[in-house]
Chain A
Amino acid sequence: MMNVMRLFGGRAASAPVARERLQILLSHERGRNGAPDLLETLRSEILSVVSKHIDVDPDKVVVRMDRGKFVSMLEVDIEVPNGVQRSKMVAAT
């Protein structure tokens, strides 16, 4: 019946989309009590490891996330110029 209605100009039901979006979002938000989720922890630790070795220009760092149902994506894009200044933290050790 749904398909027939769709054929005659009816639109696909939007509630299932809402349900799916909420399930994905809440699975990432629940039980954290304000604590960062895995993706956020990875992001901040990756950035701190990188900045241990080089002086990162925050303008040259792009971070993207996409929280999915089964798989999430974390993309950390850091521009490292050749001959870049090594961080003093490493130079001192």
Chain B
Amino acid sequence: MAKVLVVTSGKGGVGKTTSTAALGAALAQMGQNVVVIDFDVGLRNLDLVMGAERRVVFDLINVVQGVAKLPQALIRDKRLENLWLLPASQTRDKDALTEEGVKRVIADLKTKFDWILCDSPAGIERGATLAMRYADEAIIVTNPEVSSVRDSDRIIGMLDSKTVRAERGERVEKHLLVTRYDAGRAARGEMLSIDDILEILATPLLGIVPESQDVLRASNVGCPVTLNAASSAPARAYTDAVRRLMGEQVEMTVPVERKGLMDRLLRRRAA
């Protein structure tokens, strides 16, 4: 049974696209058939983070409008054969995305994939509401920072009212993914702690992704961090999150960097 998962946040720049790429790749690495869809019409970036930007031919809007067939628009990942991307349009205006069209595309994808990850644009406008509209589950990406937590709360409210599931009286299962977390700063009281965030948002925790150079490095080279640096702290956090999504019991920890001897001696600067 295919699951539709929206990766959302309200606030921009918290790591939705990075997380969609990493979670999608981690699911595919576990043998699942995965498609990631970019809903950010006009400002697509999931293609770039996944390293497929040079190969985009058709996009979500072409499919919605019938210009292209779904298989023509899907781009297969170069590294994982069971990971696919449906890019957003870079040029058209976001009104071209219709509720009916998105419904059709998602229904079609459900027959082909185990997981459909919808990368939501920031904000609470049409693109964001359409990305969550048909979701079975939601991942709310939050930074330990006041404006991000506030916007997450707003998005949680929308998930409980504006989705098809909510309108049917069912619930969208919600998971909180805290990204850019610095355990040291939280311990010193300089940053909201996980407990603070959980208490405020009252949403189950899916994972804690530590602040790490490996995340930037992965997007620089266009490769999800779970593939580009599989043993890095953020990759392990994303992999654990995916195992929890699949129903495994995994102890909640903040993965830490494993520093090599040379790293410690040279204290390398960010590459």
Q: Which of B47-55, B156-164, B175-183, B195-203 lies at the binding interface?
A: B47-55
In B204-252, which residues have CB < 8 Å from any A CB?
A: 216-217, 219-222
Residue among B48, B55, B260, B271 with most chain A CB within 10 A = B271
In the bound complex, residues from chain B placing their C-beta under 8 Å from that of A12 are: 271
Size of interface on A: residues with Cβ below 8 Å to B: 30
Minimum distance in angstroms from B48 CB to a CB of chain A? 7
Residue in B closest to A63 when the chains form the complex, CB atoms: B57
Cross-chain contact of A25 among B48, B91, B260 (Cβ < 8 A): B48
Whether, in the assembled complex, B147 has its beta carbon less than 8 Å from a beta carbon of chain A, the answer is no
Evaluate contact between B72 and A25: CB separation under 8 angstroms: no
Evaluate contact between B71 and A65: CB separation under 8 angstroms: no
In B68-125, which residues have CB < 8 Å from any A CB?
A: 68-69, 71-72, 90-92
Once the chains are docked, how many angstroms separate the CA of A66 from the CA of B221?
17
Evaluate contact between A29 and B221: CB separation under 8 angstroms: no
Q: Which residues of B are interface residues toward A (Cβ below 8 A)?
A: 48, 51, 53-58, 68-69, 71-72, 90-92, 216-217, 219-222, 260, 262-263, 266, 268, 271
A-B contact sample (18 more), CB < 8 A, given A9-B262, A21-B222: A10-B262, A10-B263, A10-B266, A10-B268, A11-B271, A12-B271, A13-B271, A14-B221, A17-B220, A17-B221, A17-B222, A25-B48, A58-B68, A58-B72, A63-B57, A64-B57, A66-B54, A68-B54
